[in-house]
Amino acid sequence: MYISLWAGLSPLNVPRMDSGSDTPAPPEKTSGWRGSRRVWLDAAKQSLIDAGVDAVKIQTLAGRINIARTSFYWFFKDRRALLDALLVEWEAKNTGAFVEACGAYAETISEAVLNLIVVFQEETQFEPQLDFAIRGWAHRSDSVADRVHRADEIRLDAIRSMFERFGFATDEADVRARTVYLTQIGYISMQVTESQALRMSRAPAYVKTFCGQSPSATELARFHARLKFTPETG
């Protein structure tokens, strides 16, 4: 933690190293709770999602979470460090979810594809709004664009490997992986809004389209249970 760098100093004596374009701020709070790294990071992520990277400024975040601006420096060196932490978290969570799902146990390729579809529908595992915001940021930053490209390749490679695990030839596995992934990226880019019932009703057809095999009733039941979804009967 960065707190060790400032041992013996009060927040008022911590040098301000913000590399962003924050405008001069009114007098700040000089006492009270400093917050936590998680609090600052969550505020930054929500600001990025709501209004883009230009909204991720230390003074703005301080006002959002009602904490003194100087408290920021207990947890991050500067604005650039905060932005990098956002990227690291996005990579770990969103890309990590793809890799984990593709490597999860499955007896059939249809079950494996359902494991991946769970990621698309469960925002505790994968945050589509964060993915959309990061991709928007990438249009303005070459370094961020490079990280997005690397993440896309990691995700595609994981899906491709999943198909190869079930006997698909390399070329076919690659095309099927792209079909799965680019469909999901299309959902994110178009900011498609669907009810859970509608999206779940389409899952069997998506599975068949993606892998050429329909899921069994048992596989669908497990899929529904994981997402706490009860299909209508009758």
75 pLDDT more than 90: yes
Residue 14 has pLDDT above 90, yes or no: no
Give the global pTM: 0.82
Contact (CB, 8 A) for 94 and 130:
yes
SS3 content of the chain, % helix, strand, coil (to 5): 70, 0, 30
Q: How far apart are CA 95 and CA 89, in angstroms?
A: 10
User: How many angstroms separate the Cα of 24 from the Cα of each of 34, 63, 69, 74?
Assistant: 21, 13, 11, 20
Task: Supply 108's token pair.
Answer: 């059939």
pLDDT above 70 as % of the chain? 85
Contact 76, 61 (CB under 8 A): no
Task: Work out the average pLDDT over 144-159.
Answer: 98
Q: Among 3, 23, 18, which Cα is nearest to 74's?
A: 3
How remote is the C-alpha of 120 from its chain's centroid? 11
What are the residues whose beta carbons fall under 8 Å from the beta carbon of 112, sequence distance 6 or more? 102, 104, 106, 162, 165, 166, 211
* Angstrom distance (rounded) from CA 192 to CA 44: 24
25 has pLDDT over 80: no
What does the pLDDT average to over 27-41? 69
Length of the chain: 234
Report the candidate in 65, 6, 74 with the shortest Cα–Cα distance to residue 37: 74
Residue 46 to residue 42: CA distance in whole angstroms: 6
Among 73, 122, 80, 78, CA closest to 97: 122
pLDDT tens-place string over residues 176-234? 999 999 999 999 999 888 898 999 999 999 999 999 999 999 999 999 999 999 988 75
Give the span between the Cα atoms of 156 and 176, in whole angstroms: 10
CB proximity list for 77: less than 8 A, separation 6 or greater = 2, 17
pLDDT(17) > 90: no
